Structure 1
């Protein structure tokens, strides 16, 4: 089902059933979060809840390559909202997100429970504070993921990687593993990608209406070598080159 195609009765039924399942998962996750909160530093409930959302949406996640070390900084391409439940479920990662998401209170609450770091894209004065937030999140979470393209792409290539948020690693490069990740939706990518002028709700409904499962392969690539981590610009370029090479590699 491609963008612009009307959703039929069977598709709407799948949307309703999946939405109800997501509400049920949230109803279970909220009390479970507060039960675990006093006893764990890294609450396992958000990771399991996000993984459940991915499965309810019809997504199957596969993994290749070396698993991230604890406290890793993951640099990934960005194709769909499904990227977040997939990476969180596989690694326990928190995320760096733009502050526009924080404007919607229920979404802000959910993001906070997964230790999301909100950044103001156009507020140059807050860069130092944002870098400190990134460092704190790296110290407290199992992993932290940034999507340096700054928006979603069509999944067949990459948009330019922006290096500003990698400034947090310039003085901690010897202590934080930095690992590129290629999110690969295979031949289904055109039906999954959220690009162009398509509203977010329309994209979510399209995905939830699908009969065919969504298969996403997380290709964990080799962590960056010290020479590639001299500064934020070299890190951004090295990560982009590594992911592009994986995309271009013959199957």
Structure 2
């Protein structure tokens, strides 16, 4: 369920001059699919790095209006990211910058074309509300880390307002609990600045309405991805310590602004 947040304008309202931009952007996104999918299959036999999905997601963000910059200590090639979650734009932004794959809830897997595109970027689907399958989900995350090198998770479990954090869920962090290979665990703060209230996907807003509203924006969407200090020592003692410390770091960064 989406968190509560007030909007001055209904999510479904799009000014008439926004629709041409929506149409142009949807056409551009379809063109990206038509170009990048064959290119991915052409390149795949020669590299395991999957550069085309990363390029595709970066371009998706650009077409949608994202203007991304980063700050802080740049991540190692093999890193487990823990990020706050504001919008579907978070995914192309992080992946386009780091080349990581994602852990996503299995609701996305029910949408055939979207599941297929997610699989091209090695997305790990988990049943968020199925406690009986947590052990298998943890194993899936471990396998994905070995195969992809970098993986991102949104431990809030859903999108929030971007001005405050929801509790962090720690169960899937068991995948790197007491990890013998010491995969870096690095928190990320996704900072949409003063635009966050317009970007956040909250209030049970339908996904299509949110996407159309974002695509109808004429102004660019600035996003700073703050790479915070990787967790070390006691902060990596177990999954709960990792979740707690990552949340504290992101919250402190948000307060500093």
| TM band (smaller chain) | over 0.9
Deviations 1:10-62 (A, max 9, x none): 10010000000000011000100100110001211100001000000011001
TM-superposed CA distance for 1:173, in Å, is 5.8
Give the TM-score of the pair, scaled to structure 2: 0.94
Q: Please name the residue that 1:82 is paired with.
A: 89
**Unaligned stretches of 5+ residues in structure 2:** 1-7
| Paired residues for 1:93-172 under 5 Å | 93-172=100-179
Q: Is the 8 A contact 1:3 1:191 kept in 2?
A: no
The separation in 2 between residues aligned to 1:153 and 1:125, in whole angstroms, is: 26
Q: Distance in 2 between matches of 1:34 and 1:125?
A: 36
Matched-pair contact (CA < 8 Å) for 2:83–2:187: yes
Residue equivalent to 2:55: 48
Question: 1:68: how far off?
Answer: 1.1
Q: How far apart in 2 are the matches of 1:202 and 1:71?
A: 35
Match of 1:65 in 2: 72
Aligned pairs, number: 250
- Taking only aligned residues, the RMSD between alpha carbons, in angstroms, comes to 1.2
Shift, 1:168, TM fit: 0.6
CA, structure 1 residues 110+5, in 2 after alignment: closer, same or farther (shift >3 Å)?
closer
Q: Indicate if the aligned counterparts of 1:92 and 1:142 stay in contact, CA closer than 8 A.
A: no
* Distance in structure 2 (CA, Å) of the matches to 1:181 and 1:4: 27
* 1:37 partnered with 2:39: no
TM-score (norm: length of structure 1): 0.97
Question: Aligned pair 1:248/2:252, yes or no?
Answer: no
Question: What is the DSSP-based 3-state SS (H/G/I as helix, E as strand, rest coil) of the residue aligned with 2:13?
Answer: coil
Q: Distance in 1 between matches of 2:180 and 2:202?
A: 33
> Aligned equivalents of 1:132 and 1:71: distance in 2?
17
Say if 1:25 and 1:49, in contact at 8 Å, map to a contact too: yes
Q: 1:27 to 1:247 in 2, by over 3 A?
A: same
Segment of structure 1 superposing worse, 98-107 or 126-135? 126-135
Unaligned residue ranges in structure 1 (runs of 5+): none
